[in-house]
Amino acid sequence: MALFICLAALILIISGIILDICGKIKLMGKGPIAFFLMVIPHFILIYYSLINYELALSIKALFVFTVTILFVYIWFKANIFPAAVDKKAKFRIKVLFGGRRIVYYGLYTFLVQIPVSIALVYIMTSHALPTYIIIMDAVCAFLMAFILIVNGMFRIIIASKRLNIVKRIIVLLTSMIPVIGVIPMVYACVIAYQEYDYECFKNIRKDERINSYVCQTKYPLILVHGIGFRDIKYINYWGRIPKELISNGAVVYYGNQEAWGTVEMNAKQVMEKIFEVLKTHNCEKVNIIAHSKGGLDSRYLISKLGMGDYVASLTTISSPHRGAKLVDLLIKWVPDKTYHKIANVVNKYFRMIGDIKPDLYKASRQLSSEWCEGFNKEIIDVEQVYYQSYTSIMKNSRSHWLLSIPYLIVKKLEGENDGLVSVDSSKWGEFKGVFSNKYTRGISHADIIDLTREDYKSFEVIEKYVEIVSKLKAMGF
């Protein structure tokens, strides 16, 4: 009879595992996994009981084999494939969401072992079981809970993008503190769920946009970068933005102007790019989206180089049209000789990475209030070109650690700003508004071009560019 029961249990367990793999049943459902995580950690006690139970050796072996198959499968799946996720989710998101589930498995296992272990110690003591079995069982139970937690936290810390380096270090260190460590663990799990939820939302939106081509403008787009950067193939200045625009029907090119070129120099280079695009696509015009100093480069090429007939629209993002007071202070405080020395060092480096004629000294001074005042008088908007502008603001100095000090300085001198450019200075043509979010962080000069490839609460930088381009399409550009 015992042998028959063992064989039936073995067949049942193997069938259950096969059905679970095929998705017909869920051994990892809330009820089953809660039971398994309460029982599996006490495998030493279970095996000891089976071995010492009065049964034939063959039946004992079959019992042990049956239980081992089930335990190994559940433990393996709990640690490697803990949860079903959206099939369209990226691998990073699957790892992240799985990490969240594993951490919760670990916390549950740890908490449930406290009363279970106390009860088992009482039971085993009354049955005169060896002390070493009791100790080994308790140690293994808590060790398995610890393994789950470490596995899950490791996944979250490695895969999360919303946890910056500082937060990752803090979460990693504080999560190891007994009792108090639960707080950073739960915080990390909340962040993981937010990222997963956002990814699912993006997939739904993407499905809704299939074949809609909301960014398929009449004319190609040319993205013109700001000062100090170049359009490098593997380190995109615009982050994930171009890829999203292209997936929604846009034709995207880059200005390819120099990092530290003067307005005049860069305008000529962008002009060459425009003619190349016009020839390649056999089109009449292009739409320009320019960030920071790229807006000044673009205005110069339209007005001064006679490109008004070849540019349908110019959208500037956080461009210092009226200059930057921060640059005024640098010119005032830094001795001219020192300024030249610094410029020469930077120019030498950027020649090595592609700049033909870098001129940090002159290019940076073209962002001063005085220079921009003269620039605005000379560079008059062309009637047939549609001009519009956007900007963003940081809400406090902690919004972006690299721009903390510049933000405070510009805040004092000019008011609301993105860490470099004030709201008033960024307005040109039809001003469409300020990008921000409802939380305390705000959106910085770097955030607005997705430089850090991060998603922020209540603000989707990629989606904002889709909106900008879709509106250009609706306007016939």
- Convert 218-278 into a string of H (helix), E (strand) and C (coil): CCCEEEECCCCCCCECCECCCCCHHHHHHHCCCCEEECCCCCCCCHHHHHHHHHHHHHHHH
What is the end-to-end Cα distance of the chain in Å, rounded?
Answer: 82
The residue assigned the tokens 């705000």 is 442
Answer whether 333's CB lies under 8 Å from 371's CB: no
pLDDT for 41 equals 84
Q: How far is C-alpha 183 from the geometric centre of its chain's CA atoms?
A: 23
- Angle between helix 182-208 and helix 165-174 axes, rounded to 10 deg: 140
In sign, the C-alpha dihedral spanning 182, 185, 191, 192 is negative
Listed in sequence order, the DSSP H helices in 25-130 are 30-39, 43-52, 57-80, 91-126
How large is the average pLDDT for residues 13-37? 76
Question: By percentage, how much of the chain surpasses pLDDT 90?
Answer: 48
Least confident of 165-174, 300-309, 313-322: 165-174
Answer whether 293's CB lies under 8 Å from 226's CB: yes
Answer whether 186's CB lies under 8 Å from 156's CB: no
Q: How confident is the model at residue 471 (pLDDT cuts 50, 70, 90)?
A: very high
Q: Is the pLDDT of residue 54 over 70?
A: no
Q: Is the pLDDT of residue 301 over 80?
A: yes
How large is the average pLDDT for residues 38-61? 72
Strand, coil or helix: 296: helix
CATH number of 217-474: 3.40.50.1820
User: Which tokens belong to 290?
Assistant: 């320019």
Does 27 or 1 have the greater pLDDT score? Answer: 27
DSSP lists the bridge partners of residue 387 as 314
Residues 230-246: tens digit of each pLDDT? 887 667 899 889 989 99
Cα separation, 471 vs 80, in Å, equals: 45
Could you tell me which residues come within 8 angstroms of residue 144 by beta carbon, excluding any fewer than 6 positions away?
Answer: 40, 41, 75, 109
Residues 63-78: tens digit of each pLDDT? 777 778 888 888 888 8
Answer whether 195's CB lies under 8 Å from 162's CB: yes
pLDDT for 323 equals 96
Cα separation, 451 vs 225, in Å, equals: 11
pLDDT for 261 equals 94
Cα separation, 27 vs 107, in Å, equals: 19
* Residue (of 289, 273, 161, 196) closest to 237 by Cα position: 289
Query: In the chain, what are the helix, strand and coil shares in percent, each to the nearest 5?
Result: 60, 10, 30
Strand, coil or helix: 222: strand
Cα separation, 313 vs 477, in Å, equals: 7
Q: Is the pLDDT of residue 57 over 70?
A: no
Q: How confident is the model at residue 341 (pLDDT cuts 50, 70, 90)?
A: very high
Q: Is the pLDDT of residue 252 over 90?
A: yes
How large is the average pLDDT for residues 261-287? 95
The structural domains of the chain, with segments of one domain joined by +, span 1-81, 89-208, 217-474
CB count in 10 Å sphere of residue 381:
16
Q: Is the pLDDT of residue 86 over 70?
A: no
Q: Is the pLDDT of residue 11 over 90?
A: no
Cα separation, 173 vs 193, in Å, equals: 21
How large is the average pLDDT for residues 108-130? 73
Does 373 or 198 have the greater pLDDT score? Answer: 373
Cα separation, 66 vs 59, in Å, equals: 10
